Amino acid sequence: MDIDHIEWMMKDALIACKQEKLDDTLLLPLVILHDVGYSKSPKDNPFKLDLRKAHMKAGEKIAKKILEKANYPKSKIEKITYYVSVHDNWALGKDDIYKKDKILGTFNDLDFMWMATQKGFPAIMKILNKNCDELIRYIENDDKPKKRPFSSKTTKKLFEKYLNDRKKEQQNNTKTNNSINF
């Protein structure tokens, strides 16, 4: 799921950078490196808080090494590694950082909306052990929009499209299954 997550996220991050005039030299490396810390963490449910903390801490160190090796500007390395070190802080109840920083807020929007994408949806269904209807309700009832409102019209619109696509697929599947039962 990690490669699919990053590949999808890069495409939408590029859209957000262009439409919202964001610094892609910050957002794109964050997208690429944000979960690199999982490589040094035990394999387990990524929704567990201890695992989230561990992967952010490990990810910060790994991202720094990679960016230094790539001769990235020092000021950007500091910013990106900070972002990696806090990118899942929302799970710890720390929401304000996403409202104060447009790059981090946009990243949070993208990371959240992965659940509603064509490849993310079935992956999250499996992790959370939910069926289609349950996951749609789970996403719709998530407190993200209240605690960490979408940072831009672009990300909000993309999210709404993905979620509507999943709902339409579910409706089509239900219609198909019902017609088979007759």
Local confidence band at 182 (pLDDT 50, 70, 90 cut-offs): very low
Residues 6+ apart with CB under 8 A from 67: 29, 33, 76, 77, 80, 81
pLDDT tens digits, residue range 48-86? Answer: 777 888 899 999 999 999 999 999 999 999 999 999 999
pLDDT tens digits, residue range 89-107? Answer: 998 889 999 999 999 999 9
Over 70: is that where the pLDDT of 180 sits? no
C-alpha 169: how far from chain center: 22
Q: Residues 31, 9: contact at Cβ < 8 Å?
A: yes
Q: Residues 87, 108: contact at Cβ < 8 Å?
A: yes
pLDDT tens digits, residue range 122-149? Answer: 999 998 999 999 999 999 999 998 999 9
Specify the pTM: 0.89
pLDDT tens digits, residue range 166-175? Answer: 999 988 876 6
CATH 3.40.50 holds for 2-167: no
Angle between helices 2-20 and 120-128 (to 10 degrees): 130
